[in-house]
Amino acid sequence: MINVGNAVTGVAAQSKPNVAVQYILSGNSLSNTATLKPASSKTAYFSLQSFYFGCVPSSQETLAGAAIPCTLTLTGKRKGKVVVKQDISFAPSGLTGLLVSPMKKQEFAGAWTNVDEVSFEQTGLLGAATSVLYDNFKYTTFTF
């Protein structure tokens, strides 16, 4: 989590002041994939409903950069088997670098129910140099 405060460029958080960040730097030892799994061993699976996201160049001052386009491949699994896969994209609005771009709301239905793991892989051209900002994950959990 990082505090976005009142950033004057980049991507505006949907619900200030904090966002989660998938921070990637290029290099062989680092992965461009983040994974979402239930924190409780009592959760059997979950249904992903929606979240907000946006992208900026990776740097030590991630929030100071302009919003940039990005593409992610989301993969949903159940008991280790892929049950759904989807590409999603973000494109900044406004004058990149001069205005703050709002996050994009990504909604899910149908096949995104009953998963026990979701991976977020940066697949765009600048994947290794892009940080993804996330906010307001909405999901429903189901217990054993």
- Profile the chain (144 residues) by mean pLDDT over runs of 10 residues: 53 81 60 83 92 85 72 95 96 70 92 93 75 92 89
Output the CA angle 45-89-125, nearest 5 degrees: 115
In single-letter form, the type of residue at position 107 comes to E
pTM above 0.85, yes or no: no
Dihedral angle of Cα 118, 31, 81, 44, to the nearest 10 degrees: -40
Q: Is 52 helix (H, G, I), strand (E, B) or coil?
A: strand
Q: Which residues pair with 50 in a beta bridge?
A: 107, 138
Residue ranges and CATH numbers for the domains of the chain are 2-143 (2.60.120.1350)
The amino acid at residue 144 is F
Residue 49: count other Cβ atoms within 10 Å of its Cβ.
15
